[in-house]
Amino acid sequence: MKRTAVNPWDWSVKLGYNQAELIEGAARQVICAGQTAVDGNGAPQHPGDMRAQISLALDNLEAVLKAAGMGLGNVIRLGVYATDVDEALKNFDLLGKRFGPHQVAPPMTLVGVTRLAIPGLLFEIEATAAA
Residue 83: closest CA among 124, 44, 51: 124
Give the model confidence (pLDDT) of 72-126 as tens digits: 999 999 999 999 999 999 999 999 999 999 999 999 999 999 999 999 999 999 9
Q: What is the model's pTM?
A: 0.93
Confidence of residue 57 (pLDDT cuts 50, 70, 90): very high
Superfamily of domain 28-130: RutC-like (3.30.1330.40)
Output phi, psi for 3, to 5 deg: -115, 130
Residues 6+ apart with CB under 8 A from 7: 13, 18, 19, 20
The domain limits of the chain are 28-130
14-18, 35-39, 72-76: which range is least confident on average?
14-18
